[in-house]
């Protein structure tokens, strides 16, 4: 079936982790919006997502931005561009008690495994409202340091094995270069895609998803598991090549 929506992970799919998208990618996404609806669903916060995406797409018109769907914190929030402004359509927030417990359990596990950074660059554990995120080297560590720390995800898998029994009923996924994301139960990128389909009326075979964490332990995997067509990438340049191919035949 012909695709109607192109959906993306963000970090290491559309941009270098935590950095704004490159002008080349901004131009490709703007061109894509002329032909498709576009969704970006990521473990990052809304503030970081908006800084990295729409603020860089200066050539996009209001009409084009209205076709852009933003889903920060792995789909726990959903934003649309309406009447010249970004409006939050829903948000599923964690309670203060849940945030406190999640933070304590993660810190204890990381220290037990000797994975707790003594000199982080930014927060190691961040409360994003609808998600608590562990970033092993700090939120603002360099992409090079992040990729070197746990490229095979074994360190984070070890942390997840410890924290999972301590956090029953919560969704725990590995994402980004050094991160672990914790949300309310059943809130993952598959949930986000279901909300996207409900909003647009499109079916899953009308969606194409592009991401860099499509392996079984990655936070993009739930999208693949629900039967949506996916393309795996490892860096934004791969995605740029995919988009050039899509645009060439559209």
Chain segment 15-67, per-residue pLDDT in tens: 998 888 999 999 999 999 999 999 999 988 899 898 888 888 988 999 999 99
| Residue 167 pLDDT greater than 90, yes or no | yes
Mean pLDDT rounded to a whole number for the chain: 94
Region for 84 from its dihedrals, namely left if φ exceeds 0, alpha if ψ lies in -120 to 50, beta otherwise: left
Structure tokens at 68: 């852009």
Among 33, 38, 42, 32, residue whose Cα is nearest residue 10: 42
Type and span of the H or E element at 91: strand 85-91
Q: Report the C-alpha gap between 10 and 21 in whole angstroms.
A: 9
Band the pLDDT of 14: cuts 50, 70, 90: very high
d(CA 42, CA 17): 11
Burial of 60 (0-12, 13-18, 19+ CB in 10 A): buried
Residue 218 in contact with residue 187, Cβ under 8 Å? Answer: no
Q: Identify the pLDDT of residue 17.
A: 84
pLDDT in tens, 205-219: 999 999 999 998 889
At residue 249, the 3 state secondary structure works out as: helix
- Find the mean pLDDT for residues 213-232: 94
Coil/strand/helix, residue 5: strand
In the β-sheet with 229-232, what is the strand arrangement from edge to edge? 85-91, 77-82, 68-71, 37-41, 5-8, 207-211, 229-232
List Cα–Cα distances, 118 to 17, 47, 104, 156, in angstroms. 22, 27, 16, 17
């Amino acid at each position: 079936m012909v695709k109607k929506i192109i959906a993306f992970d963000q970090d290491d799919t559309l941009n270098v982790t935590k950095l704004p998208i490159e002008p080349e990618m901004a131009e490709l996404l703007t061109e894509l919006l002329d032909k498709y609806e576009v969704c970006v669903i990521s473990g990052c916060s809304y503030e970081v997502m908006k800084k990295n995406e729409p603020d860089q797409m200066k050539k996009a018109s209001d009409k084009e931005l209205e076709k852009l769907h933003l889903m920060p914190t792995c789909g726990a929030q959903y934003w649309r561009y309406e009447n010249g402004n970004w409006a939050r359509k829903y948000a599923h927030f964690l309670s203060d008690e849940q945030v406190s417990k999640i933070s304590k359990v993660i810190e204890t596990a990381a220290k037990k495994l000797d994975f707790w950074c003594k000199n982080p660059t930014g927060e190691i554990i961040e409360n994003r409202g609808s998600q608590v995120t562990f970033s092993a080297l700090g939120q603002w560590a360099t992409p090079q340091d992040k990729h070197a720390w746990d490229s095979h995800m074994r360190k984070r898998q070890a942390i997840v094995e410890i924290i999972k029994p301590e956090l029953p009923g919560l969704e725990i996924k590995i994402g980004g270069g050094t991160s672990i994301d914790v949300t309310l139960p059943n809130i993952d990128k598959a949930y986000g895609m279901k909300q996207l389909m409900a909003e647009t009326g499109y079916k899953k075979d009308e969606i194409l998803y592009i991401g860099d964490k499509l392996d079984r332990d990655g936070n993009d995997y739930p999208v693949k598991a629900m039967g949506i067509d996916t393309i795996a990438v490892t860096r934004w340049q791969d995605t740029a090549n995919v988009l050039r191919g899509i645009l060439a035949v559209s």
